[in-house]
A = this chain, B = another copy of it.
Amino acid sequence: MASRYPLTPGITRLARRVPIELGRHHALPRVQRQQSSLARAAATAVRCFSSSRPRQLQQTQQRCANNTKFTSETYPEIKRDGRFATITADHVSYFRGLLGTESAVIDGVTSDSAADDLEPFNSDWMRKYRGHCKLVLKPGSTDEVSKILKYCNDNMLAVVPQGGNTGLVGGSVPVFDEIVINLSRMNQIIDFDEVGGTLVAGAGCILEVADQFLASKGYIFPLDLGAKGSCQIGGNLSTNAGGLRLLRYGSLHGTVLGIEAVLPDGTIVDDLCKLRKNNTGYDLKQLFIGAEGTIGIITKVSIQCPQRSTAQNVAFFGLESFEKVQQAFREAKGQLSEILSAFELMDEGSQALIRDVTKNRKPLDDKYPFYCLIETSGSNADHDSEKLQAFLEDVMEKGIVSDGTLAQDETQIKALWAWREGITEALGHLGGVYKYDVSIPLKEMYQLVEDTRARVDAAGLLGDTDDHPVRAVVGYGHMGDSNLHLNVSTRRFDKRVEEVLEPFIYEWIEKRQGSISAEHGLGLQKKKYIGYSRNPTMVGLMRQIKTFFDPNGIMNPYKYL
Chain A residues with CB under 8 Å of chain B are 193-197, 218, 239-240, 242, 246, 250-251, 253-255, 267-271, 273-284, 286-287, 289-291, 295, 307, 309, 326, 329-330, 333-339, 377-380, 383, 386-387, 439, 441-443, 478, 481-483, 513-522, 526, 530, 533-535, 537-539, 541-542, 544-546, 548, 560-561
Cross-chain contact A334 with B539 (CB below 8 angstroms): no
Cross-chain contact A521 with B279 (CB below 8 angstroms): yes
Cross-chain contact A195 with B326 (CB below 8 angstroms): yes
Task: Please judge, given known A-B contacts A254-B253, A290-B282, whether A277 and B522 are in contact too, CB under 8 Å.
Answer: no
Tell me which residues across on chain B come within 8 A of A535, comparing CB atoms.
270
Tell me which residues across on chain B come within 8 A of A287, comparing CB atoms.
282-284, 286-287
Counting every copy of the chain, the complex holds 2
A277 partner, pick from B193, B309, B337, B483, beta carbons under 8 A? B483
Tell me which residues across on chain B come within 8 A of A309, comparing CB atoms.
337-338
Cross-chain contact B275 with A537 (CB below 8 angstroms): no
Cross-chain contact A518 with B246 (CB below 8 angstroms): no
Tell me which residues across on chain B come within 8 A of A378, comparing CB atoms.
337-338
Please provide the 3 A-B residue pairs with the shortest distance between their CB atoms, ordered closest to farther: A254-B254, A286-B286, A337-B379
Alpha-carbon distance A516/B279, docked complex (angstroms): 8
Tell me which residues across on chain B come within 8 A of A239, comparing CB atoms.
279
Task: Please judge, given known A-B contacts A270-B537, A280-B526, A515-B278, whether A286 and B253 are in contact too, CB under 8 Å.
Answer: yes
Cross-chain contact A522 with B281 (CB below 8 angstroms): yes
Alpha-carbon distance A539/B277, docked complex (angstroms): 18
Cross-chain contact A274 with B379 (CB below 8 angstroms): no
Determine the residue in chain B with the shortest Cβ distance to A334: B307
Return A377 CB to nearest CB of chain B, in Å. 8
A193 partner, pick from B441, B521, B534, beta carbons under 8 A? B441
Cross-chain contact B290 with A276 (CB below 8 angstroms): no
Alpha-carbon distance A287/B342, docked complex (angstroms): 30
Task: Please judge, given known A-B contacts A287-B287, A561-B281, whether A276 and B251 are in contact too, CB under 8 Å.
Answer: yes
Alpha-carbon distance A284/B287, docked complex (angstroms): 7
Alpha-carbon distance A335/B537, docked complex (angstroms): 48
